[in-house]
């Protein structure tokens, strides 16, 4: 994070921020692992299968990067006593998983 700014916060806030970051990273890893599994093991149309798998991998990668940024700006806001900034993770995951779920639905319907 570079040089600390502001005041040293109650350590519980810092630890909560770290736990939140780690939860987002776990979600990102699950998306990447799911993408690899889809590419390797899901039967069906290769183009759609790889599209879904690569979509999951990209979503996980973007989520991990966004989570690190979120951790940094949140820690800065905590140290400066400011309001927490909005994050992009929730809409990103909601939209990404919805798009990928539609792709999976198409794959399942065409696989029959």
Which tens digit of pLDDT belongs to each residue from 83-107?
Answer: 999 999 999 999 999 999 998 888 8
Q: Dihedral of CA 99/101/105/111: which sign?
A: positive
Q: What pLDDT, on the 0 to 100 scale, is given for residue 109?
A: 86
Give the predicted TM-score (pTM) of the model: 0.84
Q: Which of 96, 112, 108, 109 is nearest to 42 (CA)?
A: 108
pLDDT tens per residue across span 40-67: 988 778 888 899 999 999 999 999 999 9
Residue 9 pLDDT: 85
Question: CB-based contacts of 60: which residues, under 8 Å, 6+ apart?
Answer: 27, 28, 29, 30, 31, 32, 34, 35
H/E element holding 90?
A: helix 89-111
- Could you tell me the two tokens for 63? 């989520």
What is the model's pLDDT at position 2? 57
Residue identified by tokens 């799911």 is 34
In this prediction, what percent of the chain has a pLDDT beyond 90?
72
């Amino acid at each position: 994070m570079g040089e600390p700014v502001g005041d040293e916060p109650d350590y519980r806030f810092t630890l909560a921020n770290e736990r939140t970051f780690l939860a987002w990273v776990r979600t990102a890893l699950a998306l990447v692992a799911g993408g690899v599994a889809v590419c390797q093991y899901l039967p069906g149309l290769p183009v759609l299968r790889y599209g879904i798998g690569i979509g999951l991998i990209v979503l996980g990668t973007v989520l991990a990067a966004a989570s690190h940024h979120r951790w940094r700006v949140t820690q800065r806001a905590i140290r400066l006593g400011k309001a927490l900034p909005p994050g992009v993770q929730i809409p990103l995951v909601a939209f990404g998983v919805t798009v990928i779920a539609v792709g999976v639905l198409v794959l399942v319907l065409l696989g029959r």
